[in-house]
């Protein structure tokens, strides 16, 4: 039984052998990466931002651009329609619409689905939950220019899922992002790289509801002290927006430092799969 962060709560899960193999996808892989594109780094960091707050996401994209990076932005498909099941205290900030998301995608940023209406799908009957997965992906098909399911990452709300829901989503998309667990040893929050044989489950870690600046710094420093891997940290808005926000000043200074670390690649999740799959 393992503990992992799920955004607004902490859950216990049981990881069976088949789930572990599918998640790690690297029993025989060395920690060094076998990506097709040079230069190959030993460490990859993905800052995966959720919910689609308009002010925060434009600013997040701008900060990434200032440092030659692309932002990883995950959108609640129907939030701009006033359809959002997220807690009011964390989701009352203005959100963008698909004109905004197409504009940011055109600038090179990664835009991925973060559920239809921020439902915790584990609280719903399986048929209702899978219908919402389909509804979300259908909406992205229709409204996000160039959306490709075979390259998409479906980001579960609250980082809450079940093996059955993961399998269903993975029948539609390249990867799912959900609650993380420690698969490389005690205290190690990182993934080995998946191979290219099929869809993959990706775990992430999050912190809140208070400001997450110190947490990000601590987790990344621990990660950089390891021999390598892929760390996915789930973030939300900037400054006062969302659950566990980081400050604008911190994100700017943090990325400025990260791009100067020779061993580190800072990439969105989908772009990491494209670059570093075996």
The dihedral built from the CA positions of residue 271, 39, 22 and 17, taken in this order, carries a sign that is: negative
> Which residues, 6 or more positions from 278, have their beta carbon under 8 angstroms from its beta carbon?
29, 34, 35, 193, 194, 195, 196
Secondary structure in 3-state letters for 253-276: HHHHHHCCCCCEEECCHHHHHHHH
> Which residues, 6 or more positions from 41, have their beta carbon under 8 angstroms from its beta carbon?
33, 262, 263, 264, 265
- Of the listed ranges 29-38, 48-57, 79-88, 195-204, the one predicted with least confidence: 29-38
Q: What is the pLDDT of residue 87?
A: 82
CA 17 – CA 14 distance, rounded (Å): 10
**114-133: per-residue pLDDT in tens?**
999 999 999 999 999 999 99
Confidence of residue 276 (pLDDT cuts 50, 70, 90): confident
Q: What is the pLDDT of residue 190?
A: 66
Q: What is the pLDDT of residue 193?
A: 66
Domains and CATH numbers, the chain: 43-276 (3.20.20.370)
| CB of 18 closer than 8 Å to CB of 147 | no
Q: What is the pLDDT of residue 36?
A: 44
β-strand partners of 179: 204
Tokens 């069976």 belong to residue: 16
> Which residues, 6 or more positions from 138, have their beta carbon under 8 angstroms from its beta carbon?
none
How much of the chain, in percent, has pLDDT values that exceed 70? 79
Average pLDDT rounded to a whole number, residues 142-167: 97
**210-241: per-residue pLDDT in tens?**
999 999 999 999 999 988 889 999 999 999 99
Q: What is the pLDDT of residue 84?
A: 81
Tell me the whole-structure pTM to 2 decimals: 0.84
DSSP code of residue 40: P
User: Is the per-residue pLDDT at 28 higher than 50?
Assistant: no
> Which residues, 6 or more positions from 86, have their beta carbon under 8 angstroms from its beta carbon?
51, 76, 118, 157
């Amino acid at each position: 039984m393992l503990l992992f962060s799920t955004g607004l709560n902490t859950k216990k899960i049981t990881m069976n052998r088949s789930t572990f193999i599918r998640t790690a996808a690297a029993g025989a892989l060395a920690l060094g990466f076998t990506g097709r594109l040079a230069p190959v780094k030993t460490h990859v960091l993905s800052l995966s931002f959720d919910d689609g707050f308009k002010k925060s996401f434009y600013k997040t994209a701008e900060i990434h651009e200032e440092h030659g990076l692309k932002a990883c932005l995950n959108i609640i498909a129907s939030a701009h329609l006033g359809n959002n099941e997220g807690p009011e205290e964390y989701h009352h900030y203005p959100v963008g619409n698909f004109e905004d998301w197409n504009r940011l995608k055109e600038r090179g940023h990664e835009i991925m689905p973060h559920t239809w209406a921020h439902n915790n799908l584990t609280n719903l009957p399986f048929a209702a939950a899978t219908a919402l997965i389909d509804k979300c992906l259908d909406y992205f098909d229709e409204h996000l220019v160039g959306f490709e399911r075979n390259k998409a990452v479906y980001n579960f709300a609250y980082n809450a899922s079940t093996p059955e829901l993961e399998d269903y989503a993975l029948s539609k998309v390249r990867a799912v992002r959900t609650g993380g667990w420690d698969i490389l040893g005690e205290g190690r929050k990182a993934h080995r790289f998946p191979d290219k044989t099929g869809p993959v489950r990706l775990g992430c870690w999050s912190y809140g509801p208070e400001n997450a600046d110190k947490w990000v710094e601590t987790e990344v420093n621990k990660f950089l002290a390891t021999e390598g891997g892929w760390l996915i940290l789930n973030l939300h808005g900037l400054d006062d927006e969302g659950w566990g926000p980081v400050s604008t000043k911190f994100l700017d200074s943090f990325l400025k430092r990260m791009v100067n670390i020779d061993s580190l690649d800072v990439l969105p999740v989908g772009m990491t799969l494209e670059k570093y799959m075996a």
